[in-house]
Structure 1
Amino acid sequence: MANVPAQQHDAAARPGTGDGPPPRMPSDITPGLGPFDRFATHASNFFSKAWFFSLCVLLVLIWAPSYFLIGDLDTWQLIINTATTIVTFLMVALLQNTQTRADKAVQHKLNAIADGLADLMGHIAEADGRPQLHADVDELKAAVGLETREGA
């Protein structure tokens, strides 16, 4: 498990910033996606197929002999350079969106597992009288950046 200090949590999700505490469990995450996120997900699924890669290879194979139709080397190169630059720029933005959302979802799940494990260790420490487990709970929470919950 990667060490994620509490300082690295999203500042907008910190208590006291007006947006409330960060979600503690995966079920606390809003399942709905905005229009751009839905579009990025569909685009990522579309671009990651083998047939899309084959289509890209086919376009390059069609472009290569087009030099004889165009005749000018600079124009011929400019066509493929412009097309690939634009497509790459847009794809990187879309794929980065989906990757960031996936990373956040995994981190929330890991935090929920660590929180559940910390709770279990705390209960075992109290039930079996193992004070060392309390130190281990604190170490686990510090390692994954979980804040200590206030008991009622």
Structure 2
Amino acid sequence: MKKAKESLFERFSTKITCWTGSSTAFGIAFTVILIWGITGPIFHYSDTWQLIINTGTTIVTFLMVFLIQKSQNKDSKAIQLKLNELIAASRYASNRMVDIEDLTELELDVLHKYYQELSDKAERDQDIHRSHSIDKAKNLAEEKDQLRESQKKKVD
């Protein structure tokens, strides 16, 4: 029963979200506002006249927030899954990037800085086909550390 309710809500929210993004829905909303504006002088711009549009738009906005959020959550999850599949399928991509949407904002900022450095490094390279990744950079850093240690031992 719960699955049927979720499925019904999902189908309903998808259809409503698609319809409200249409030209027809915009035209209807514009027409309602136009009619409301035209009737202002007839009702002497009364408090009731203003209350009707305020209440109507508040109710519609309140409900649309939840419908749009539901639709965005579904779209976001689908995009994340598609990106995860591309990362998993790519021989050169770091699998550490799968499911990074679960990281904290601070952790994402650290990753962003690191990728900015990789981007800067890629710009300086003459070969546009050269790959830079977290794993490759880590391996290179480890190799450099080992080289430094071996050179240090030779000096001592």
Same fold (TM over 0.5): yes
1:61 matched to 2:15: no
Question: 1:47: Cα distance to partner?
Answer: 0.5
Q: Which has the higher contact order (CA 8 A, sep 6+)?
A: 1
Residue 126 of structure 2 corresponds to which residue in structure 1? none
* Residue of structure 2 aligned with 1:141, choices 95, 102, 109: 95
Q: 2: distance between equivalents of 1:116 and 1:72?
A: 63
Change (3 A) 1:85 1:54: same
Task: Structure 2: state its 5+ residue gaps.
Answer: 1-5, 101-156
Identify the residue that residue 69 of structure 2 maps to in structure 1. Answer: 96
CA RMSD of aligned residues (A): 1.9
Aligned positions, number = 95
1:106 to 63, 79, 95: 79
AA aligned opposite 2:95: K
TM-score (norm: length of structure 1): 0.57
- Could you tell me which residue of structure 2 aligns to residue 115 of structure 1? 88
Q: Secondary structure at the match of 2:39?
A: helix
Query: What's the % identity of the aligned pairs?
Result: 38
CA distance in 2, matches of 1:91, 1:102: 16
Q: Match of 1:35?
A: 8
Contact 2:87 2:97 in 1 (8 A): no
- Give the structure 2 partner of residue 129 of structure 1: none
SS of match in other structure, 1:70: coil
AA aligned to 1:54 is G
Report the Cα distance in structure 2 between the residues aligned to 1:112 and 1:46, rounded to whole angstroms. Answer: 31
Cα distance in 1 for residues equivalent to 2:62 and 2:99: 34
Query: Larger radius of gyration, structure 1 or 2?
Result: 2
Relative to the length of structure 2, the TM-score reads 0.55
Which ranges of structure 1 fall in alignment gaps of 5 or more residues?
1-32, 122-136, 147-152
Further displaced range: 61-70 or 81-90: 61-70
